[in-house]
C-alpha cells in the first residue's frame, strides 16, 4: 500500500516567510487588535494582553452558583473493557451507552461573565474618579437595554447545547446603539459595558428567567457567559470598542 508523499521545494526562506505570515495573521494581529481596544479603555498594551489571556483561559472555568431540583437526562458515553477468553486471547467488551438523571446546575463562566463584569465596574469607577460620569450612566443604560433586547430576540434554546446566540450580531447591535445614540466622549466605555453586559443580560439572564425558554434547555450545566454566549460577549466587547 502506497503512503502519501509530501515534498516542499520552496526553500527555507519561503518556509520561514510562510510561518511568519501565519504568526502575524493568527497571533500578532488578533492580539494587537485586542490591545488597541483595551487601550481606548485606559489599559496599557501589556494589561490588555494579560486580560486577553485571562479571558481566554477563563472560558473553560465555570463556577457553580445554584443547583436546581430539575432533573435532566445525561447520556453516558460507551466504554470498552478488555478481558481474556478461555484460550488466553484478549476480548473486547463494549458497554452500551446509558442515560441517567442529574440535577441541573447553573454556573457563571469566569472568562465570559466574571472578568468582563469586573472590567465594566473598573471602567465605570475610573470615569467617576476622573469626574467624567456626567450623564454617562443614562447613555450606557440606554445602549445596554437596546443590546439586551436584540440579544433576547435572537437567543435560541437548544435542548442539547443550551442557549445559542449568533456570534457577530451582539457586536453590530452594540455599534449601532453606541455610535448613533451615545455622545463621543463616552463611546469606548459605553461600547464595552453595553456590549458585554447587554449580551449577557439578553442572551442568558432574561432567557433563563423566562420559564418557556428555561424549560427548553436540557443540558446538565447551564453556564452564564459560557458555551453559546462567550463568543458573542467577547466579540461584542472588543469589536464594539474599536468601531466606536
pLDDT digits (tens, 9 = 90+) for 90-116: 666 666 566 778 888 899 999 999 999
Q: DSSP of 23-75, one letter per residue?
A: HIIIIIHHHHHHHHHHHHTT--HHHHHHHHHHHHHHTT-EEEEEEEEEEEEEE
pLDDT band at 239 (very low <50, low <70, confident <90, very high): confident
Cα 30–Cα 44–Cα 39 angle in degrees, nearest 5:
60
Distance, in Å, from the CA atom of 59 to the CA atom of 51, rounded to the nearest integer, reads 12
Give the tens place of pLDDT for each residue, 175-227. 899 888 888 888 888 999 999 999 999 999 999 999 888 888 888 889 999 88
Contact 189, 124 (CB under 8 A): yes
Q: How many whole angstroms separate alpha carbon 143 and alpha carbon 219?
A: 31
pLDDT band at 126 (very low <50, low <70, confident <90, very high): confident
The residue behind cell 466504554 is 79
Alpha-carbon span 60 to 131, nearest angstrom: 37
Distance CA 203, CA 225 (A): 9
φ, ψ at 62 (rounded to 5°): -115, 130
If one compares 56 and 79, the residue with the highest pLDDT of the two is: 56
Torsion sign over Cα 203, 206, 207, 209: positive
Amino acid at each position: 500500500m502506497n503512503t502519501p508523499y509530501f515534498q516542499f521545494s520552496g526553500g527555507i526562506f519561503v518556509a520561514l516567510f510562510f510561518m511568519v505570515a501565519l504568526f502575524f495573521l493568527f497571533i500578532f494581529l488578533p492580539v494587537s487588535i485586542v490591545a488597541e481596544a483595551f487601550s481606548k479603555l485606559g489599559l496599557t498594551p501589556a494589561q490588555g494582553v494579560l486580560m486577553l489571556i485571562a479571558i481566554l483561559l477563563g472560558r473553560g472555568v465555570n463556577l457553580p452558583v445554584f443547583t436546581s431540583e430539575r432533573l435532566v437526562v445525561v447520556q453516558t458515553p460507551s466504554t470498552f473493557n478488555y478481558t481474556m477468553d478461555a484460550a488466553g486471547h484478549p476480548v473486547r467488551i463494549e458497554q452500551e451507552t446509558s442515560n441517567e438523571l442529574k440535577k441541573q446546575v447553573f454556573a457563571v463562566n469566569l472568562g465570559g461573565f466574571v472578568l468582563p463584569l469586573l472590567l465594566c465596574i473598573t471602567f465605570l469607577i475610573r470615569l467617576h474618579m476622573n469626574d467624567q460620569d456626567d450623564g454617562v450612566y443614562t447613555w450606557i443604560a440606554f445602549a445596554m437595554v437596546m443590546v439586551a433586547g436584540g440579544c433576547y430576540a435572537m437567543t435560541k434554546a437548544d435542548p442539547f447545547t443550551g442557549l445559542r446566540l449568533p456570534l457577530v450580531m451582539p457586536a453590530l447591535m452594540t455599534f449601532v446603539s453606541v455610535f448613533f445614540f451615545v455622545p463621543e466622549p463616552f463611546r469606548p466605555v459605553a461600547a464595552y459595558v453595553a456590549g458585554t453586559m447587554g449580551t449577557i443580560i439578553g442572551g442568558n439572564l432574561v432567557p433563563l428567567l423566562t420559564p418557556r425558554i428555561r424549560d427548553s434547555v436540557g443540558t446538565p450545566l447551564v453556564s452564564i457567559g459560557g458555551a453559546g454566549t462567550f463568543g458573542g460577549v467577547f466579540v461584542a466587547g472588543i469589536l464594539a470598542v474599536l468601531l466606536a
